[in-house]
Amino acid sequence: MTDGERTLQRLDPIGAMSAWPLGPVTAVVVMAYAVYSTLTHLGQLTNPALAWLALAVIGAAVVYFAVRSRPSVAPFGRRALIVVVGLSTIASTLFTLSVWGRNRILQDDWGQIAVALIFITLPLYRPITEVVTAAVFAALVVGIEAGLEGPSLSIANNPLVYFIVAATPVIALALAGSAYAWVMTADTLRWNEAARESQVRLDPELREGAARIIHQEQVTLLNSGTVPFFADLLARDELSADDIDRARTIAASVRRAAVHDIDRGWLEESVVRSVGHQAPDAVNDPDRLANAMSEEHRGIVGGTIASAARARGFDPASLSIELAAVGGRAHAIMSARIDSPRRELRTSFMPFLAALRAVSSDATLDVQDGSVTLQFSYGES
């Protein structure tokens, strides 16, 4: 999926995940209607084998659609769109051929209706221009077939009428689904823009808060080591060799803390906000690749860390986030030990995988009893 593809799955992956059941529901409705329509056409079949083959092909189309639109295998690409539309159109053609010459009316044929129903939810996953283009193609196919079949129907009429009767459901439902997707996409873009504007307004406050946190950490470090050391020196009013060694140790620790504060980026801050200082070495990012993450990646990663920290049985010391350059891209591996059942962990982290799959198609989630590992790549290929 390219950055230019403004789809609901790309802009609102969690919303697209919640809408996924529409795929299986559509599959059930399409198959039920196709089987019912075929049974009612038994007396009109000129080639029963083609009728049953049509059912098999439309079944393959809707099953593929339901499986391929799952959040765990996102994004739903252009090839998937071609497969779904191609199979459903072929199925419609096969059914038309199976009743060719004995079909009485077009209105009770399932081909164009099945194709139209599938187009309702396709705009959730692909750009509207692609969906409308595919709908026009499918409508032309079923419309031309209907026009050619017209002379053998029980109601004589102009072939153009039959063309319109067959093509209209496909175009109408595709446009209806596209209109809904267009409105939701526009709303999502407005919400995202409003969120970015709010972030810009809050940025000075966030920076000030981060500065206060760093200052407080430095004060705490000084109070825990440096201040007691100088107080002891003042009380004794003498300097020994051990004091010199201790001063060197304290100075080194202060330098390390200062360097760490300077180098600490947004990823380290996310870890500190979620788990405190219980995982000081959680982030391994020597090349500072975290800075190359997009806003979407940062939000998802931050949410994943926070979700892990809130999970029942989370071990803060086990949190590990490693970033490395692999094949010209940045590759991230996030893992943690969480003493919770596998099903509970999948339920908790599946939304983050769905969101990541929308922006990183190679994202994977490995959930075992007691551990979670999330991997993804980003940046230039």
The tens digit of pLDDT for each residue in 81-109 reads 999 999 999 999 999 999 888 888 878 88
Closest of 301, 324, 319 to residue 309, by C-alpha: 319
Q: In this model, does residue 258 exceed pLDDT 60?
A: no
Q: Report the C-alpha gap between 102 and 34 in whole angstroms.
A: 18
Q: In this model, does residue 304 exceed pLDDT 70?
A: yes
Tokens 């409308």 sit on residue:
132
Q: In this model, does residue 263 exceed pLDDT 60?
A: no
- Whole-prediction pTM: 0.65
Query: Among the ranges 34-38, 221-225, 349-353, which has the highest mean pLDDT value?
Result: 34-38
Number of H helices, E strands in the chain: 13, 5
Q: In this model, does residue 256 exceed pLDDT 70?
A: no
Six token digits for residue 285: 């990012």
Please give the mean pLDDT across all residues of the chain.
81
Report CA-CA distances (Å) from 317 to 30, 140, 167.
51, 61, 61
Q: What is the mean pLDDT of residues 318-330?
A: 87
Q: What is the mean pLDDT of residues 276-290?
A: 79
Tokens 């991997």 sit on residue:
375
Q: What's the pLDDT at 170? A: 93
Report CA-CA distances (Å) from 89 to 73, 84, 142, 239, 282.
24, 9, 8, 91, 52
Q: In this model, does residue 34 exceed pLDDT 90?
A: yes
Instruction: Locate the domains of the chain by residue range.
Output: 8-194, 276-381
CATH number of 276-381: 3.30.565.10
Six token digits for residue 105: 């009316």
Q: What's the pLDDT at 201? A: 62
Query: Among the ranges 61-65, 125-129, 272-276, which has the highest mean pLDDT value?
Result: 61-65
DSSP 96-158: HHHTTTT---STT-SHHHHHHHHHHHGGGTS-HHHHHHHHHHHHHHHHHHHHHHGGGSSS---
Q: How confident is the model at residue 2 (pLDDT cuts 50, 70, 90)?
A: very low
Question: HSE (CB half, 13 Å, CA atoms) of 42?
Answer: 4
Q: How confident is the model at residue 195 (pLDDT cuts 50, 70, 90)?
A: low
Higher pLDDT, 17 or 275: 275
Flag the least confident range among 59-63, 116-120, 341-345.
Answer: 341-345
Looking at the chain, how many residues does it have? 381
- Which one-letter amino acid corresponds to residue 201? R
Q: Report the C-alpha gap between 244 and 31 in whole angstroms.
A: 83
Q: What's the pLDDT at 44? A: 86
Q: How confident is the model at residue 47 (pLDDT cuts 50, 70, 90)?
A: very high
Q: In this model, does residue 73 exceed pLDDT 80?
A: no
Query: Among the ranges 58-67, 210-219, 243-252, 281-290, which has the highest mean pLDDT value?
Result: 58-67
What percentage of the chain reaches a pLDDT higher than 90? 23
Closest of 107, 126, 206, 124 to residue 165, by C-alpha: 107
Q: How confident is the model at residue 37 (pLDDT cuts 50, 70, 90)?
A: very high
Helix, strand, coil shares of the chain, percent, nearest 5, are 70, 10, 20
Q: Which helix (H) or strand (E) holds 90?
A: helix 78-98
> Can you say how many angstroms the Cα of residue 155 is from the centroid of all Cα atoms in its chain?
49
Do residues 7 and 125 touch, judged by C-beta distance below 8 A? yes
Burial class of residue 150, CB neighbours in 10 A (0-12, 13-18, 19+): buried
Q: What is the mean pLDDT of residues 20-41?
A: 90
Q: In this model, does residue 64 exceed pLDDT 60?
A: yes
Q: Report the C-alpha gap between 109 and 159 in whole angstroms.
A: 17
Q: Do the bridges between strand 283-284 and strand 320-326 make them parallel or antiparallel, or are there none, so unpaired?
A: parallel
Q: What's the pLDDT at 232? A: 66
Q: What's the pLDDT at 3? A: 44
**Other C-beta atoms within 10 Å of 108: how many?**
13
Closest of 120, 142, 141 to residue 131, by C-alpha: 120
Q: What is the mean pLDDT of residues 33-56?
A: 92
For 247-261, b where at least 16 C-beta lie within 10 A, e where not — what string? eeebeeeeeebeeeb
Sheet holding 371-378, edge to edge: 283-284, 320-326, 329-337, 371-378, 364-368
Q: What's the pLDDT at 107? A: 80
Q: What's the pLDDT at 367? A: 87
